[in-house]
């Protein structure tokens, strides 16, 4: 199975390395650099599996640009983690809208590009509604240090992958403000409960959120300084802004709030993060608001 990865950012390069280990693979980018092809039409026409490694907000536009080059038997594999702000669509739903004839899968879970490039052990979730095709892609991508676990809950896998970035910003802000490990643990736990509420309202299975794409990714992103969203939150907590990187959780916070409001689901952590990143509230005020919420049972 020939794999073409669209997007030569850090994660695109890391995924391309995984794909190369298992067979024929091409990495597509806009700039000429070593190991990156700029032959978009040729590479896409030959690809059997097309891995979309562009930032989540760009997914719809890029798919529109490339869809005429895709073979009818190709499979789309979505790698970005995010919810579209205007529509509330997940990455797979965007793909099905733009290229409805193609099967769509999602790869998500606890994975740092730097560790994948270094060949360190990584386990992820591969979500596919088509079991036989999912097993084929699973076998193609599996390697000595890369282990994809298969699920058919495409929605649940994506909710976990998207919302953990929002919760990571909250955890980073708490740590940057010096509020301590207990505050981080509380935010992770209550954020996880929020994640499950949104996922269930969206039609996902609760057990999916307990796996790699939910709790696994949440644990990694909220507890490591390597996480861009955690580092961004930490900088907010310290009263400075982190330069450079793209912060998926910023746009996703707004999208989660909008989605939760439409479904009448409580999402206090997402609301606080959305206000925080928009400059509408400071960290002290955000934490005070969370602590002032009415007492309730945990379950």
Angle at 91 between CA 88 and CA 96, to 5 degrees: 100
| Superfamily classification of domain 3-152 | NAD(P)-binding Rossmann-like Domain (3.40.50.720)
Q: Which of 164, 196, 226, 271 is catalytic?
A: 164
So what CATH class is 155-291?
mainly alpha
Angle at 225 between CA 289 and CA 195, to 5 degrees: 45
Distance CA 191, CA 164 (A): 8
Where residue 213 falls (left for φ over 0; alpha for ψ -120 to 50; beta otherwise) is: alpha
pLDDT one digit per residue (tens) for the chain, 299 residues: 999 999 999 999 999 999 999 999 999 999 989 999 999 999 999 999 999 999 999 999 999 999 999 999 999 999 999 999 999 999 999 999 999 999 999 999 999 999 999 999 999 999 999 999 999 999 999 999 999 999 999 999 999 999 999 999 999 999 999 999 999 999 999 999 999 999 999 999 999 999 999 999 999 999 999 999 999 999 999 988 754 445 788 889 999 999 999 999 999 999 999 999 888 888 899 888 888 888 788 76
Q: Residue 169: which residues within 8 A CB-CB, separation 6 or more?
A: 229, 230, 232, 233, 236, 247, 249, 250, 253, 273, 276, 277
Among this protein's residues, is 164 annotated catalytic?
yes
Domain boundaries, the chain: 3-152, 155-291
**Per residue in 38-59, is it b (16+ CB within 10 Å) or e — as a string?**
eebeebbeebbbbbbbbbbbeb
């Amino acid at each position: 199975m020939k794999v073409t990865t669209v997007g030569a950012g850090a994660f695109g390069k890391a995924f391309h390395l995984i794909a190369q280990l298992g067979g024929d693979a091409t990495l597509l980018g806009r700039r000429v650099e070593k190991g990156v092809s700029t032959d978009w039409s040729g590479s896409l026409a030959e690809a059997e599996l097309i891995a979309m490694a562009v930032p989540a907000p760009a997914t719809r536009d890029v798919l529109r640009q490339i869809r005429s080059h895709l073979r009818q038997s190709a499979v789309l594999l979505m790698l970005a983690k995010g919810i579209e702000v205007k529509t509330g669509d997940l990455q797979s739903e965007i793909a099905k809208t733009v290229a409805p004839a193609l099967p769509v899968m999602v790869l998500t879970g606890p994975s740092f590009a730097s560790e994948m490039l270094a060949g360190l052990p990584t386990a992820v979730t591969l979500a596919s509604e088509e079991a036989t095709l999912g097993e084929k892609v699973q076998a193609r991508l599996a390697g000595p240090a890369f282990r994809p676990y298969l699920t058919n809950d495409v929605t649940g896998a994506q909710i976990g992958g998207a919302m953990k970035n929002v919760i990571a910003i909250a955890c980073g802000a708490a740590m940057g403000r010096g509020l301590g490990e207990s505050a981080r643990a509380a935010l992770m736990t209550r954020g996880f409960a929020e994640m499950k509420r949104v996922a269930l309202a969206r039609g996902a299975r609760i057990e999916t959120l307990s796996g790699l794409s939910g709790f696994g990714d949440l644990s990694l992103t909220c507890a490591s300084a390597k996480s861009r969203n955690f580092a961004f939150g930490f900088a907010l907590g310290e009263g400075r802004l982190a330069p450079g990187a793209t912060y998926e959780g910023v746009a996703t916070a707004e999208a989660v709030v909008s989605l939760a409001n439409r479904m009448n689901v409580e999402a206090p952590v997402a609301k606080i993060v959305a206000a925080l990143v928009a400059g509408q509230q400071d960290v002290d005020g955000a934490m005070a608001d969370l602590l002032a919420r009415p007492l309730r049972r945990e379950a």
